[in-house]
Amino acid sequence: MPVYTSVSVMFPRNKLMLIQRDKFDFKAMDDEVFKYEDDKLAGQVLTSVVDGTFTSYSSLTTADVSIGSHAYYKYLNDLVVSGRMEGNPLKANLYQSLEPLLTRFIGDWQEFNEKYFSPPSFSWDTALSASFMEFPDELKMAVFDVVPRSDLLTLRLVNKRLWALITPITHSRLRFRMPPSGWSAFEERSTAVYEWAAAAEILGAIFIDEAWFPVVSVTFQSWPMSQYCFFKFLKNAVVTSVAITGHRYPLSFFPHIPYPFMLPPTVKSLVVARCSLTCHSLLGLLSPGTMLESLEFDRVDDGFVITPVNPTWTDVHDWRELNGLSSYRQSLVQNPPPASLQQFENKFRPGHTSSRRGRRTVYVVSTNFHATPNNETFPVHLRLCSLVELDLCLGSFLYRYVRWGWSEMSESLTTLTIRACDVEASEYGNGHLPLAGLMSLKHVKLVAPVSSIRRMLWSVVTWTSPAKESSSATLGITVCVDRLSRWDFPRELSETFLQRILLSTRYTEYHHFGGSVRISIASTLPRPVLAEEVKYLTRICNDLACDESVKAIFLTPRLIIFPEYIRNIVIHS
C-alpha cells in the first residue's frame, strides 16, 4: 500500500482512527476497498453500504456521525475531514490534477453550445441601482427569481453580501458532466478516466462539506460512475433530486452504473436515462427509507429484477442476498412504508442498446409493472397504488406487461400519456393500449406519427372511466408529421373517425367524452409547408363542434415546430 505524507492519529478504542491525507491516491483507495470486501458475503457488503454510525474526529469537533461502515466511506471521510483542516494542501492538489482537462472541457462545451443551440431569447439588461443593496433580503431574493442563472453567476461577484445571498441559489445543484467527445481527451493525455472522475467527486464531496447551505440536486451526465455514491453520507447533501444520464448524441459515452451504487434515502426525484444497469437494478439504487415521488426511466440497458425460472435453493438464497431481502431489506418488504410514487415516465423507444424485442426489455418493464406477492411486498419502491401521472413510450408488444399494473393504480391514476414509438399488430393486441379499469383517469394525451395515430386513438374507445364525461376532462392528440407522411394526414385523421371515438357507444360502455380536445401538429418542417394541414384541422374541429351528437369542446389546433436537429419528435412533444 502506498505511503502518504500524512499523520496517523490514534484515539481510544471507541473512536475511529483518522488518517490526515494531503493527496488522493485512487489505487490506494481501490486496494483498501478490495481488502475490505475480500472476506465478506454479498449481504454483508450491501449492509455496510446502506448505513453505519461511527465516531468521527476533526480538529474542530468530535461527534457521532453516520459515515457508512464500508471502507470506501471511511476513506472518503478521511479526505473530507483532511480538506477541512487549515494548511492541508489536499484541495489544491486535487484541483491541480483536474485543471488541464477541466479547461479543455469548458472550451468544448462553449463550442458545442454555439454549434447546436441558439443564444437565450431572454437576457437580463436592467441596471440595478446602488440603492438595491438597501432593499430587504426578501425583496432581493424575489428579484433573483427572475434573473437568468448565467447573470446571477456574474452578479454574485459584485460584493460579499450578494455573494452570500446568491451562492446558495447557483451552487445548491451540482452537475458532473463530460462533453460528447470527452473520452478522446483522456486518450490524448494518457489519463485514466475513472481516476480523474473519482478525484472530481472527492473535490465535490469537500465542497459539499464546507458549504453553509444544503446541496439539493446532483446530476451525472455521461459521467464515469464510481461504484459508490460519494454524497450518500455527507451532512450538507440533502439531495432530493438525482439524474444519471447519457448524451443524446452519437459516439458519446454510454455510462454504466456499477453495483452496489446506492443513493441516499432523501432522494424524491430520480432520472435514469441512456445508460446501463448491467448486474444492477433500479431497486438497487434506492436505499431503505426512500420515499420516491418522481421517476423517469428512459432507454436503460438491463436493470431488471427477476426471480430465476425453476430456481434451486441456492438460486433463491443468492437472489435474496443480492437484493437485500435477507439483510437490510428484510423488515422493509415485510412491513412496507406507505406508497409514495406519484409520477412515472417509462420509455424504451427504438435506439436503446438492447433489442427492442429483447427479453431484457420485457424483464425491465415487467419489473416496473409487477404483480405484488402476497407474503412480501417487492419491489417496494415501485408500488403503483399512489401513482397520479404515467408517461409511456414503449413498443406495443410491451403493452400487455403494462396492464399488469392497471389494477394497482386504478383508483389513483388521473393523467396518462402514451407515445407511439413502435406500433405493430401482434398476437397480444391490435397496436393500442386498452384503458379499461382505470377508474379515475381524467386526462389522456396521445403522441404518434401519422402512420400510427389511428391505431393509438382506439385507446380512447376503451377509456371507460366516469371522469371521461366531465367537462374538466382533457384529450390531447399530437400528430408528428414529416415531409412524406403529411400527404396521408387527412386519411388517417378524418372527421368521421374522430366522431366515432368520442361518441357514447357499446364499445365505450356508453361513456361519451365530455371534456376539451386539443389536436396539435408537431414537425421540423417550416410553418408555411404545413399551412394546408392546419387549415384542414381547423375545419374538422369546427365541424365537430357544431355536431350536436358530440359533447366535446374543441380547442384551436396548434402547430409545434422543433429544430431540425431533433430526430425523434415523438419523445419531445
Give residue limits of the domains in the chain.
7-88
As beta bridge partners, residue 517 has 475, 554
What angle in degrees, to the nearest 10, is found between the helix axes of 71-84 and 26-38?
Answer: 150
8 A C-beta contact, residue 493 and residue 454:
yes
Note if the bond before 89 is cis, omega within 30 degrees.
Answer: no
Q: What is the pLDDT of residue 427?
A: 42
Q: What is the pLDDT of residue 555?
A: 93
Residue with cell 455496510: 48
Q: What is the pLDDT of residue 54?
A: 32
DSSP of 339-394, one letter per residue? P---EEEEE--TTSSS-TT-HHHHHHHHHHTPPPPSSS--SSTT--TT--EEEEEE
Q: Give the CA angle between residues 291, 271, 573 to the nearest 5°.
A: 120
Note if the bond before 373 is cis, omega within 30 degrees.
Answer: no
- Tell me the CA end-to-end span of the chain in Å, nearest whole number: 55
* Mean pLDDT per 10-residue interval, the chain, length 573 residues: 32 51 88 89 82 38 55 91 88 88 79 66 60 78 79 80 85 87 75 90 93 93 91 90 84 79 94 84 85 90 67 75 77 84 84 48 74 64 90 85 87 94 51 88 94 89 91 94 88 90 82 92 92 93 91 92 83 81
Q: What is the pTM of this model?
A: 0.86
Q: What is the pLDDT of residue 57?
A: 30
d(CA 218, CA 195) in angstroms, rounded, equals 20
Q: What is the pLDDT of residue 173?
A: 92
d(CA 389, CA 529) in angstroms, rounded, equals 35
As beta bridge partners, residue 392 has 346, 418
Rounded to the nearest angstrom, the gap between the alpha carbon of residue 50 and the centroid of all alpha carbons in its chain is: 21
d(CA 361, CA 216) in angstroms, rounded, equals 32
Give the H or E element holding residue 449.
strand 443-449
